[in-house]
C-alpha cells in the first residue's frame, strides 16, 4: 500500500500504523496488569498472536466465572 502511495498519503498511512501499534501495545500492557504478574512484558511481546488471543479469552472467562461467584 505504501509503495503505490503518493508522498502526501504516506504520512497519513504511517500515522495510522503508529496509532494501531500504540493501541496494540496498550492492550498488551493491560494484559500484563490484569494477569497479576503471571505474564511479563517480554513474554507478551514475543508470543504469537494466536497465543495472545487465547490468553485474552481465558482471562475473560476467568473474570466472568469470578463475577458469577460474587
29-50, pLDDT tens digit by residue? 999 998 888 899 999 999 999 9
Range of the domain at 22: 2-69
pLDDT digits (tens, 9 = 90+) for 5-19: 677 788 888 999 999
DSSP the chain: -GGGS-HHHHHHHHHHHHHHHHHHHHHHHHHHHHTTTSS-HHHHHHS-HHHHHHHHHHHHHHHHHHHHH-
* N- to C-terminal Cα separation, the chain: 50
> What total of structural domains would you count in the chain?
1
Which pTM does this prediction carry?
Answer: 0.69
Amino acid at each position: 500500500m505504501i509503495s503505490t502511495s503518493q508522498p502526501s498519503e504516506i504520512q497519513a498511512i504511517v500515522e495510522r500504523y503508529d496509532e494501531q501499534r500504540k493501541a496494540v501495545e496498550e492492550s498488551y500492557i493491560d494484559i500484563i496488569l490484569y494477569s497479576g504478574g503471571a505474564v511479563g512484558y517480554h513474554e507478551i511481546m514475543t508470543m504469537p498472536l494466536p497465543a495472545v488471543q487465547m490468553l485474552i479469552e481465558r482471562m475473560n472467562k476467568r473474570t466472568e466465572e469470578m463475577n458469577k461467584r460474587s
